[in-house]
């Protein structure tokens, strides 16, 4: 006989243990990678991490352009890096996440 309450308890326990991390933009993602020594988790992150490191280098008149270049590099890199299982697993393991979601300008870029 099906025990509905036992079923609900199991579902509750599964959902309770799920930890979803939402990265709100490239700064949040970069800070997580940096804090967990994952900046070199994948070779395709290099254009993004290099661009991020150059945001505050140079005159302030070009800062908006450097931020846009970093955002563009992030969009390209995040897609290729996170679609590779080993890289995604390394990020999930470091944060003990069951799922990560990345948003950029309020738009979902990645979910996995």
Q: What is the 3-state secondary structure (H, E, C) of 20-32?
A: EEEEECHHHHHHH
How much is the pLDDT for 67?
93
Confidence band, pLDDT 50/70/90 cuts, at residue 9: low
Query: How does pLDDT run across 10-68, given as a tens digit for each residue?
Result: 666 655 667 889 999 999 999 999 999 988 888 888 999 999 999 999 899 999 999 99
Domain extent listing, the chain: 20-111
| Distance from C-alpha of 11 to C-alpha of 94, rounded to nearest angstrom | 25
The pTM of this model reads: 0.78
How much is the pLDDT for 78?
79
pLDDT at 93 over 60: yes
pLDDT at 79 over 90: no
Q: Are 47 and 73 in contact (CB under 8 A)?
A: yes
């Amino acid at each position: 006989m099906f025990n509905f309450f036992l079923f609900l308890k199991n579902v509750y326990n599964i959902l309770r243990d799920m930890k979803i991390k939402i990265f709100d933009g490239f700064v949040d993602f970069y800070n997580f990678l940096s804090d967990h020594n994952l900046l070199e988790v994948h070779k395709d992150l290099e254009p993004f991490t290099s661009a991020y490191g150059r945001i505050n280098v140079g005159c302030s008149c070009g800062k908006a352009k450097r931020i846009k270049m970093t955002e563009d590099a992030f969009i390209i890199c995040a897609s290729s890096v996170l679609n590779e299982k080993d890289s995604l697993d390394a990020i999930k393991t470091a944060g003990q996440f069951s799922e990560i979601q990345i948003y950029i300008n309020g738009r979902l870029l990645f979910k996995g």
